[in-house]
């Protein structure tokens, strides 16, 4: 039986999420666990009896934002003494009991694998004990917990298919904060997919740090990612399916064939390259080189020619020379990424890079290189988007455009945002839009047909 934390009065939990899509999904798992314990989810922090920050450690900046936020939240507790404050997620895992520090005033610290324990942690916190659980698990996937869908408009959502990461890219904190990689039970994924569609969602993104290494033993038969993707796509043929993230080292042709075979699998591959230089990739422990990456891109272009390709890029990794930086710029031109997420290298304590290499690219050089990467990406994106002019795309309408309520926004299969006059279209519908105008971040068009 679930322990009931709240007996008489309705209590409210407010969750603020930082970091990646996995964290967004985890917040929904947490909301679901707490809902069963009697907590209503609220989007109003002033109404909350429990405030949770679901945090990210990927870069120094991500952690600093959370410390700043904790500082602000202290003021709320000055007015409402009973409010409990919890830090959960990757920072909880990394910083552990340091988060009970004098100035921070955290009541609960829970790592990514201990959310089932939150009801007990709450009881401890209520009786003024230090409530902490940062144990990592080799098996936890929250498989039977149907996430409490937090977002207001029920159009697009995530289904987590695995947790953790075994890759240990030398710069990355994720294997330490999320633990070992484990694949979720296939039937529980299919159940959640069906439940999501029943709730009215039209698009599902299958999530994992490296979805291509999904590997589940289903009573003696091995299910790998291409099989899983095919099963999901066939189960809900009217729902769009996306997946993220693909690691270049094991994104194989079979996956690309499933993408073409299933119409409802979106033609978009997020394939983070990190650097265009083989020597930097080697220091990063990415286990592929420039040639391998380019050959994977060639395979995408050949097998799924209409696919868009996006990337993550790190500027100024340890020891990065000017020549190595130039190789990143040249790879970007060669591939022509539709879009990239671009970051300055931020050394993370405890990682292999922090131990073995010096973070020796000066801050001003990192900034200059990052700016060069951003400027180039903007130019390439603008060219990619310009190529879309005159084309017709099927767009899933997701909402009203920020600038005008006479315009709607949605995305095409390639994950590009498209804005268009609303006419009679409704949110949640598919419409065909002809592209008439472009810039480096959006496409604009008119509904046709």
Q: Please, which residues bridge with residue 55 across strands?
A: 89
Distance CA 126, CA 71 (A): 21
CA distances from 276 to 147, 171, 334 (A): 38, 16, 10
Residues 134-173 that bind ligand F3S (CB under 6 A): 173
Distance CA 102, CA 85 (A): 14
The window from 102-110, 151-159, 167-175, 363-371 that contacts ligand SAH (CB under 6 A) reads 167-175
Distance CA 48, CA 124 (A): 18
Distance CA 20, CA 222 (A): 28
From the list 50, 123, 18, the residue with the least C-alpha distance to 41 is 50
Question: Could you give phi then psi for residue 72, rounded to 5 degrees?
Answer: -65, -40
Residue 337 interacting entry, from ligand SF4, ligand SAH, ligand F3S, none, C-beta within 5 to 8 Å by type: none
* Angle, CA 73 vertex, CA 67 and CA 74 arms, to 5°: 95
**Count of C-beta atoms within a 10 Å radius of residue 98:** 11
Smallest gap, in angstroms, from Cβ of residue 385 to ligand F3S? 27
Residue 346 interacting entry, from ligand SF4, ligand SAH, ligand F3S, none, C-beta within 5 to 8 Å by type: ligand SAH
From the list 23, 79, 34, 29, the residue with the least C-alpha distance to 56 is 23
Residue 177 interacting entry, from ligand SF4, ligand SAH, ligand F3S, none, C-beta within 5 to 8 Å by type: ligand F3S
Is 410 an interacting residue with respect to ligand SF4 (CB under 6 A)? no
The set of residues, in sequence order, having a beta carbon less than 8 Å from that of 412 and lying 6+ positions away, is 393, 394, 395, 418, 433, 443
Is 52 an interacting residue with respect to ligand F3S (CB under 6 A)? no
Q: Which is nearer to ligand SAH, 140 or 359 (CB)?
A: 359
Is 90 an interacting residue with respect to ligand F3S (CB under 6 A)? yes
Q: For residue 125, how many C-alpha atoms fall within 13 Å in the half-sphere facing its CB?
A: 26
Smallest gap, in angstroms, from Cβ of residue 168 to ligand SF4? 6
Residues 156-175 that bind ligand SF4 (CB under 6 A): 165, 167-169, 172, 174-175
Smallest gap, in angstroms, from Cβ of residue 353 to ligand SAH? 8
Q: Are strands 430-438 and 392-400 parallel, antiparallel or unpaired?
A: antiparallel
CA distances from 125 to 101, 118, 163, 296, 413 (A): 15, 10, 27, 50, 46
Distance CA 412, CA 396 (A): 7
Residue 168 interacting entry, from ligand SF4, ligand F3S, ligand SAH, none, C-beta within 5 to 8 Å by type: ligand SF4
Residue 23 interacting entry, from ligand SAH, ligand F3S, ligand SF4, none, C-beta within 5 to 8 Å by type: ligand F3S
Smallest gap, in angstroms, from Cβ of residue 367 to ligand F3S? 22
Is 314 an interacting residue with respect to ligand SAH (CB under 6 A)? yes
Residues 173-202 that bind ligand F3S (CB under 6 A): 173-174, 177-178
Smallest gap, in angstroms, from Cβ of residue 274 to ligand SF4? 7
Distance CA 69, CA 67 (A): 5
Residues 22-51 that bind ligand F3S (CB under 6 A): 22-23
Contact characters 54-83, ligand F3S, x per CB under 6 A: --xxx-------------------------
Q: Which is nearer to ligand F3S, 111 or 119 (CB)?
A: 111
Smallest gap, in angstroms, from Cβ of residue 335 to ligand SAH? 15
The DSSP annotation for 401-420 comes to: -SS-TTEEEEE-TT--EEEE
List interacting residues with ligand SF4 (CB under 6 A). Answer: 165, 167-169, 172, 174-175, 209-210, 247
List interacting residues with ligand SAH (CB under 6 A). Answer: 58-59, 171-172, 174, 209-210, 245, 247, 272, 274, 312, 314, 343, 345-346, 348
């Amino acid at each position: 039986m679930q322990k009931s934390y709240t007996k008489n009065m309705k209590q409210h939990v407010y969750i603020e999420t930082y970091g990646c899509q996995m964290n967004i999904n985890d917040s929904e798992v947490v909301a679901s666990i707490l809902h069963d314990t009697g907590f209503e989810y609220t989007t109003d922090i002033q109404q909350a009896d429990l405030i949770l920050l679901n945090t990210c450690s990927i870069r120094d900046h991500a952690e600093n934002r959370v410390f700043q936020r904790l500082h602000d939240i202290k003021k709320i507790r000055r007015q409402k003494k009973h409010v409990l404050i919890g830090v959960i997620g990757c920072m909880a895992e990394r910083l552990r009991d340091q988060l009970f520090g004098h100035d921070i005033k955290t009541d609960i610290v829970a790592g990514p694998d201990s959310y089932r324990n939150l009801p007990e942690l709450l009881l401890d916190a209520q009786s003024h004990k230090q409530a902490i659980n940062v144990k990592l698990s080799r098996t936890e996937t929250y498989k039977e917990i149907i996430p409490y869908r937090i977002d207001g408009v029920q159009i697009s959502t995530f289904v987590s298919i695995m947790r953790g990461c075994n890759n240990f890219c030398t710069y990355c904190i994720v294997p330490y904060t999320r633990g070992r990689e484990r694949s979720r039970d296939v039937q529980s994924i299919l159940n959640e997919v069906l439940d999501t569609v029943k709730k009215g969602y039209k698009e599902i993104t299958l999530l994992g740090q490296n979805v291509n290494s999904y590997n589940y033993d289903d009573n003696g038969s091995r299910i790998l990612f291409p099989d899983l993707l095919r099963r999901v796509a066939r189960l809900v043929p009217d729902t769009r399916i996306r997946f993220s993230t693909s690691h270049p080292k094991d994104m194989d042709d079979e996956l690309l064939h499933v993408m073409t075979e299933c119409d409802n699998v979106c033609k978009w591959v997020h394939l983070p390259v990190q650097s265009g230089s083989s020597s930097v990739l080697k220091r990063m422990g990415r286990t592929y080189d420039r040639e391998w990456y380019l050959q994977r891109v060639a395979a995408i272009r050949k097998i799924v020619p209409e696919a868009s390709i996006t990337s993550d890029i790190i500027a100024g990794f340890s020891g990065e020379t000017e020549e190595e930086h130039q190789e990143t710029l040249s790879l970007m031109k060669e591939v022509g990424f539709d879009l990239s997420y671009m970051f300055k290298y931020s050394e993370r304590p405890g990682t292999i890079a922090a131990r073995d290499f010096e973070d020796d690219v000066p801050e001003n050089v990192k900034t200059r290189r990052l700016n060069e990467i951003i400027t180039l990406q903007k130019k390439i994106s603008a060219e990619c988007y310009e190529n879309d002019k005159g084309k017709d795309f099927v767009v899933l309408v997701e909402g009203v455009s920020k600038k005008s309520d006479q315009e709607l926004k949605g995305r095409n299969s390639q994950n590009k945002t498209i804005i268009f006059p609303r006419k009679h279209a409704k949110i949640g519908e598919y419409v065909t839009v002809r592209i008439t105008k472009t810039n480096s971040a959006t496409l604009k068009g008119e509904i046709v047909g």
